[in-house]
Amino acid sequence: MLGRSGAGVLRFCAVAMLAAVTACSNPSRMITLEDHDEALEFQKSLQDYSGSVSDMLRDAQHGKSISDFSMGMLAYDILATVSSADSGLYAHFTKGGTDIEDYLKTRFQNNPDAEIAAIDKIGGEGSPSLRAVARNTLEALAHIPDSHDPPATQRQNRELLENALENTKSALDKAATEVKIP
């Protein structure tokens, strides 16, 4: 028969094992970076991007035009950051020896729908939240209204842009909460 201290140790071990099993059963839920300062900086970047996306969303909702350049620069920054912590995203963006800027100017610009769909098919280890950030960022970039399009197409693209920006902000906020600070 176990004494009080033995029962306490046994209970502690059971709780510790349950916590370990729970943590290991879904390793992709947390975004893990090895360095404390790097993890804090990464989390802060996600929060800052969320603020920038929120500002852009507010502008779009108030009828202000979103330029290809401003959305492109924000997309570049977001994609560079999220792919630094997700090897599957990084491999996709840099396939064939390109960097993210080249990816956006070539593969994405030439076939945005296929590239957005490809994000959903990336396998291997990685963060579903970071991949959602990447996918929604690309979705926003693909739907910037063009003043040369008919008004109905511009309205549709504005709605799609606003939805993509809302989804990007939501995914950034979620990802920021999933950063594990060592």
142: Cβ contacts below 8 Å, ≥ 6 apart: 112, 113, 116, 164
Give the span between the Cα atoms of 149 and 159, in whole angstroms: 14
Residue-range definition of the domain harbouring residue 5: 1-32
Quick one: pLDDT at residue 89? 95
Quick one: pLDDT at residue 11? 41
Same domain flag for 53 and 141: yes
Same domain flag for 3 and 54: no
Same domain flag for 40 and 27: no
Quick one: pLDDT at residue 181? 82
Same domain flag for 41 and 27: no
Digit-coded pLDDT (tens) for 4-36:
444 343 343 333 333 333 333 334 456 777 888
Quick one: pLDDT at residue 182? 82
Same domain flag for 80 and 130: yes
Same domain flag for 18 and 64: no
Quick one: pLDDT at residue 29? 53
Same domain flag for 63 and 12: no
Mean pLDDT by 10 residues, the chain (182 residues): 43 36 41 84 96 97 92 96 94 93 95 94 86 97 92 94 97 94 82
Same domain flag for 58 and 98: yes
Contact 54, 166 (CB under 8 A): no
Total number of domains constituting the chain: 2
Same domain flag for 27 and 50: no
Same domain flag for 42 and 15: no
Quick one: pLDDT at residue 31? 75
Same domain flag for 41 and 19: no
Same domain flag for 28 and 85: no
